[in-house]
Every structure is written in structure tokens, then in C-alpha cells.
């Protein structure tokens, strides 16, 4: 191919991928029944959803959970901080656009809603580019022949009137669906009551199913965490998730030294630098980095590469529709977190296609990009504002 032809093709690609619109809106989906975990009660979930359109007519979508209230903060960051930077730029310049957006956000926030806004846009860019290439996102990211990936069933929330026996029945129902790994919430009650819940779960699922425990930042000091862990350890949990606030990295490291249970964390952690501290301090052997939180697909892949070098496994948090692609294309990723119904992860109500699952695995989508779109009627039903 001579230089003139190469330059012509490059110009054509750049023209086709020119970003002509970045639109966002805020969606609030109420929970049918108020649900609790260790540190708070959730009555509704706010989501920011984004679509990025290019000159050739392709469109990519992005999304994140933006809190149980004030989700419009992330939407505002998309509209006012980042969208003006992207117009007339090429969607193919994903890494360069990431760097520029991050630099622009230094004063507004390198974590929280601002980085979630950046994450949403990054996801939408990758989605658009994969759709334009006619490839599933997993294949666009480099997956080879992976058709299915392992998943664990996530549940076990606190609900008024729910007994340990009820919890055990819930966990057993996931095993009956074919899941060989299940997760429940811990840390809200006193140690004796918590042990009763974990014991009921283990007895209900048997010894051959992995049992993950999620504390959702329940504890503020290592001695208290150890008091609970000593009660949990006889029931052979696979991991203890988010035992402390994400800022208490040293506490995670100290707990990891003192319990045989693997420490997992990172679901609300932002950026590769904070994740690197977790790795350096051996504070977690499983990272649950969420691409819709940590800085998008671009940053998630950087974090996963660093984790691989440290012998650490990736088991991303939430949004199975997104993370199924990342687990399928990442050699040191093991599980996708899967919610069998739409009661807690009610984002499921906002999309037009649901993942297929069987025998504890998820089918990797074969359609272009993420393999699903927004259900526009559902967005209209729950929207707090219009596309803008």
C-alpha cells in the first residue's frame, strides 16, 4: 500500500469516527422493597446513561451507578466538563481522550462522580468502536475463543423479617440454578447473629460451593474485623469483601495478614494509583475494580495488567452486562458478579437484552459492541431529565 492510499484511508477513518454528539441523562429506578447491607439502606438507584454518536452513524453507550441520590452530579460532569472536549474528535483516540479528560478533571475530582462520568464516556467510546468494527466488545479487546465465563450469584441482602433460614433458602436457590459460587452480605448485625446467618448459608449450599462474604465497609478497625472473621472462618468463606472503608488500605493489609480468608476489595476504588497501593501493600489478593467506577475500560485494563504482574485475580463488581466482556478478554480475571433478578441491580430494567446463563456461567454476547442497547421506553419511565 503506497503512502497516498494509506493517508487517504486514515483520513476516511478519522472522518467517519468524528464525534458529533455526547448526550447524557439521569435515571432513577426505585427498589420495590427497601434493601440493606452493612452500612446503609437503599430505596432507589440513580444511574447516569450516555450515548456518543459519530459522523458515520454509529453510536456507543455508557452507564454507571451514580448513587442512591444526587445521581445528576455525574450527569452534569458528563455534560459540562467532558462533552465539550470530545466534539469533533475521533472516537478512535480512546487513550488520548482519556488522558485529556483526566487532566481536565484534576480540580473537580479524581474519584467519585467525576471519575464515574469519565468512566461512562470511556465505556461508550470502546462500545462505539467495537460496533463500528462489527465485533463483540470482548473480541475487540482481544478475547480468542471464549464463549462462556464463570459467574457467581450475588444476593443475601438484609430485608426486614428475613431469617437465617430464609437466607439459606435464597442461597440454595442459586445453587439449584447451577451456580457453584454465591455471595451474601455480612457485617450489619452483632457477631453471634452474623455467625448464624453464615452458618445457615453454608449448611444450605453444602461444602462444595464457594461462599463469598461482602461486608460493604462494615468495620472501622482490625480488632473488630477479626472478632467477626473468627466466627466466619469455620464456614470456609472464599473471600471477605470490603471489610473497611476504601481509604483504610493499611487496615486491609493488616487483616490480610491475620486471617486465612482472602481479602477482596476495590469496587469503589478509583484510578490505577490507588489500586497500586493495594497491590504494593498486599492488602487484597482479589481486586473487584468496576470499569464504570475506576476510570472506564481503559483504566480497568491497566489495573488488571498491574494485578497480573502481582499474582492478583480480577473479579469485577456489578454490571455483568459490561464485565462479561472484560473477564472474557483478561487472563487473570475469574468471575463475573451476576444478579439473577432485577430487584437489587435494577439497571436490568433499562436494557433491551439480558445475558443468558446456565450451569454457573454466562454466555459472552456475540453481537457488536456490548451486545445490548438501552430500552428507550424504560428510560422514559424512570428518567429525571431529558437527553442533553
Contact 362, 338 (CB under 8 A): yes
Look at residue 26 and tell me if it is in a domain. yes
The yes-or-no verdict on residue 355 having pLDDT over 70 is yes
Instruction: Please tell me which residue in 185, 252, 320, 323 is annotated as part of the active site.
Output: 185
Look at residue 368 and tell me if it is in a domain. no
The yes-or-no verdict on residue 40 having pLDDT over 90 is no
Look at residue 21 and tell me if it is in a domain. yes
pLDDT tens across 174-199, in order?
Answer: 999 999 999 999 999 999 999 999 99
Average pLDDT over residues 65-80: 95
CA 381 to chain centre: 24
Strand (E) or helix (H) holding 104: helix 94-104
Residue 215 is predicted with a pLDDT of 98
Indicate if 146 and 262 belong to the same structural domain. yes
Residue 14 is predicted with a pLDDT of 74
Indicate if 229 and 328 belong to the same structural domain. yes
Look at residue 53 and tell me if it is in a domain. yes
Indicate if 262 and 125 belong to the same structural domain. no
Indicate if 39 and 79 belong to the same structural domain. yes
Average pLDDT over residues 300-306: 98
151-157-163-169 Cα dihedral, nearest 10 degrees: -20
The yes-or-no verdict on residue 8 having pLDDT over 70 is no
Among 142-156, 212-226, 231-245, 306-320, the minimum mean pLDDT is found in: 142-156
Domain with 349 in it: 139-363
Indicate if 326 and 346 belong to the same structural domain. yes
Residue 5 is predicted with a pLDDT of 58
Dihedral sign from CA coordinates of 173, 187, 150, 124: positive
Look at residue 369 and tell me if it is in a domain. no
CATH assignment of the domain containing 104: 3.30.390.10
Q: Is 53 a catalytic residue?
A: no
Cα separations (Å) of 11 from 6, 129, 275, 333? 9, 16, 38, 37
Look at residue 387 and tell me if it is in a domain. no
Indicate if 50 and 84 belong to the same structural domain. yes
Burial 197-232 (b: 16+ CB within 10 A, else e): bbbbbbebbeeebbbbbbbbbbbeebeebbebbebb
Contact 75, 48 (CB under 8 A): yes
Indicate if 253 and 351 belong to the same structural domain. yes
Contact 135, 368 (CB under 8 A): yes
If pLDDT is split at 50, 70 and 90, which confidence band does 10 have? Answer: low
Indicate if 96 and 189 belong to the same structural domain. no
Among 114-128, 145-159, 300-314, the minimum mean pLDDT is found in: 145-159
Contact 329, 143 (CB under 8 A): yes
Residue 11 is predicted with a pLDDT of 61
Indicate if 114 and 183 belong to the same structural domain. no
Of the two residues 331 and 36, the one the predictor is more confident about is: 331
- List the grid coordinates of 70: 444526587
Residue 38 is predicted with a pLDDT of 82
The yes-or-no verdict on residue 6 having pLDDT over 70 is no
Instruction: Please tell me which residue in 317, 320, 323, 325 is annotated as part of the active site.
Output: 317
Indicate if 16 and 100 belong to the same structural domain. yes
How far is Cα 110 from Cα 117, in angstroms, rounded to an integer? 11
Q: Any idea which residue has 470490603 for its cell? A: 242
The yes-or-no verdict on residue 116 having pLDDT over 60 is yes
Look at residue 62 and tell me if it is in a domain. yes
How far is Cα 329 from Cα 23, in angstroms, rounded to an integer? 28
Q: Does pTM top 0.85 for this prediction?
A: yes
How far is Cα 306 from Cα 65, in angstroms, rounded to an integer? 25
Average pLDDT over residues 109-138: 97
Indicate if 221 and 351 belong to the same structural domain. yes
Indicate if 130 and 151 belong to the same structural domain. no
pLDDT tens across 218-259, in order?
Answer: 999 999 999 999 999 999 999 999 999 999 999 999 999 999
Total domain count, the chain: 2
Look at residue 193 and tell me if it is in a domain. yes
Average predicted confidence (pLDDT) for the chain: 95
Q: Is 320 a catalytic residue?
A: no
Amino acid at each position: 500500500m503506497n503512502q497516498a492510499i494509506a493517508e487517504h484511508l486514515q483520513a476516511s477513518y478519522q472522518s467517519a469516527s468524528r464525534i458529533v454528539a455526547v448526550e447524557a441523562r439521569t435515571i432513577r429506578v426505585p427498589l420495590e422493597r427497601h434493601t440493606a447491607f452493612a452500612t446503609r439502606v437503599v430505596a432507589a438507584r440513580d444511574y447516569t446513561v450516555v450515548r456518543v454518536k459519530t459522523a458515520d452513524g454509529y453510536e456507543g453507550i455508557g452507564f454507571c451507578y451514580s448513587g442512591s441520590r444526587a445521581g445528576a452530579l455525574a450527569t452534569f460532569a458528563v455534560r459540562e466538563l467532558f462533552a465539550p472536549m470530545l466534539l469533533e474528535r475521533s472516537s478512535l483516540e480512546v487513550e488520548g481522550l482519556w488522558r485529556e479528560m483526566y487532566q481536565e478533571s484534576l480540580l473537580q475530582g479524581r474519584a467519585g462522580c467525576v471519575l464515574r462520568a469519565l468512566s461512562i464516556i470511556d465505556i461508550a467510546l470502546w462500545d462505539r468502536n467495537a460496533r463500528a468494527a462489527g465485533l463483540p466488545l470482548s473480541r475487540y479487546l482481544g478475547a480468542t475463543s471464549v464463549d462462556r465465563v464463570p459467574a457467581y450469584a450475588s444476593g443475601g441482602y438484609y430485608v426486614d423479617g428475613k431469617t437465617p433460614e430464609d437466607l439459606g433458602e435464597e442461597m440454595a436457590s442459586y445453587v439449584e440454578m447451577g451456580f457453584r459460587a454465591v455471595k451474601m452480605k455480612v457485617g450489619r448485625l452483632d457477631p453471634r447473629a452474623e455467625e448464624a446467618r453464615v452458618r445457615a448459608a453454608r449448611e444450605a449450599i453444602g461444602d462444595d460451593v464457594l461462599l463469598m462474604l461482602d461486608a460493604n465497609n462494615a468495620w472501622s478497625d482490625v480488632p473488630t474485623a477479626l472478632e467477626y472473621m473468627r466466627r466466619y472462618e469455620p464456614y470456609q468463606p472464599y473471600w471477605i469483601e470490603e471489610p473497611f472503608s476504601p481509604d483504610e488500605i493499611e487496615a486491609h493489609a493488616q487483616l490480610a495478614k491475620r486471617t486465612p480468608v482472602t481479602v477482596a476489595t476495590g469496587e469503589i476504588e478509583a484510578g490505577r494509583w490507588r489500586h497500586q497501593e493495594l497491590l504494593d501493600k498486599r492488602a487484597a489478593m482479589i481486586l473487584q475494580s468496576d470499569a464504570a467506577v475506576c476510570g472506564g475500560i481503559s483504566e480497568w485494563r491497566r489495573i488488571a495488567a498491574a494485578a497480573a504482574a502481582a499474582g492478583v485475580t480480577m473479579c469485577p463488581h456489578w454490571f455483568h452486562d459490561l464485565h462479561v466482556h472484560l473477564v472474557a478478554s483478561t487472563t487473570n480475571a475469574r468471575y463475573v458478579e451476576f444478579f439473577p433478578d432485577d430487584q437489587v441491580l435494577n439497571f436490568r430494567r433499562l436494557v433491551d437484552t439480558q445475558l443468558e446463563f446456565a450451569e454457573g456461567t454466562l454466555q459472552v454476547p456475540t453481537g457488536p459492541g456490548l451486545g445490548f442497547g438501552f430500552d428507550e421506553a424504560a428510560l422514559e419511565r424512570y428518567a429525571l431529565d431529558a437527553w442533553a
